[in-house]
Every structure is written in C-alpha cells, then in structure tokens.
Amino acid sequence: SLREDVELFAAEQKANGFKDTAISRHHSVDGDHGRIETRATTVLHDIAWLKDRHDWPGLTSVVMVESTREIGAKIEQETRFYVSSLASQADQLGPVIRSHWAVENSLHWVMDMVFRDDDCRVRTDHAPANFTTLKHMALNLIRKAPGKDSLRLKRKVAAWDDDFLASLLAA
C-alpha cells in the first residue's frame, strides 16, 4: 500500500542518515500550557519511484513529522507521514501541516461543544454528511448573531425563542 511504502521508505532513509536522498529539514520547539513540543519535519524529495509505483502524477515529496511532547515527566513521541504535490521545503511545509490540524481540531472542538457532535449516532447513507452540513450552516448563523453569549447558549436560545430563531434565519 502507499502508506506502507511511504513509512518503509522514510524509515530506511532515516536509518541510512538520509545520505542517498535529497531532503530538507526543519526543527521547531513550542511551549504552552505546561508542555513542550518539539517537531522535526523532514521532506524527502527523491520519490520518482513512489510516484511511478502508485501512478500519482504530480507527487513531489514525502513528509515525515516527528513530534516529541513533554508534559511534566511524561514524554510522548509520534511520527506522522504525509505525501505532497507541493514542491516546498521543510520550513514551509511544517507550519502548513501544523496550522491545518489546528484548524481541524479547533472546528471539531467547537462542533462538539455546541452540537455534542461526538455523541451523534447518525451513521447510515448520506445522513452523516447531511447533518454535518446543516450543523455547519447553523454554526455560521449562530456566530453572526450579536451578543456576547456563548455559541452553545445562542443555540439553546434559538430552540426556546422563535423570535431569536427568526432573527438568525433572516440575518
């Protein structure tokens, strides 16, 4: 599979000290909320064989992100792999990957807090996608509503007060 090929290739190149392949590397360290996170982003550029093997025109790089998270005495390590059609260096791709997941995680958190998304049991056919679309539309309407109340409270008020609901829909 593509995943297995990417992971095996990156592991072999790392074990070899990346001697026989063109790479770019970037390291970053962030400290926040009592934790220190170190990220090493390595972009492997010589991947023509992978592009040919998996018939993926435009594929230009394999990205390996090695993260170490220190929270007190606890240390967690994780390695993630990505494939990219961007002809970019590690110092550009590392922040792009991080910001993408920050947006994804932030949206997921908001959807869970406002709509209890993690508890949703809609699972069949197109219903999950349809419900997600409706919830995103509702979230956008709620965000536009004036006032300093939380999004969750505004959602509840819309359920209780037809005038407030009408003002959301008319906005």
Pick from 56, 79, 51: which is nearest to 67 by CA? 79
Residue 12 domain-assigned (yes or no): yes
The pLDDT score that the predictor gives to residue 171 is 79
Residue 99 domain-assigned (yes or no): no
Residue 149 domain-assigned (yes or no): no
Q: Hey, how many other C-beta atoms are within 10 angstroms of the C-beta on 143?
A: 11
Q: Provide the whole-model pTM.
A: 0.60
Residue 163 domain-assigned (yes or no): no
Domains identified in the chain, total number: 1
Domain extent for 41: 1-89
Residue 55 domain-assigned (yes or no): yes
Residue 74 domain-assigned (yes or no): yes
pLDDT tens profile 123-154: 899 998 898 899 889 988 998 998 888 889 99
The pLDDT score that the predictor gives to residue 101 is 66
Q: Hey, how many other C-beta atoms are within 10 angstroms of the C-beta on 62?
A: 24
Residue 139 domain-assigned (yes or no): no
Residue 37 domain-assigned (yes or no): yes
pLDDT tens profile 45-100: 988 888 888 888 888 999 999 999 898 889 999 999 999 888 888 888 888 887 76
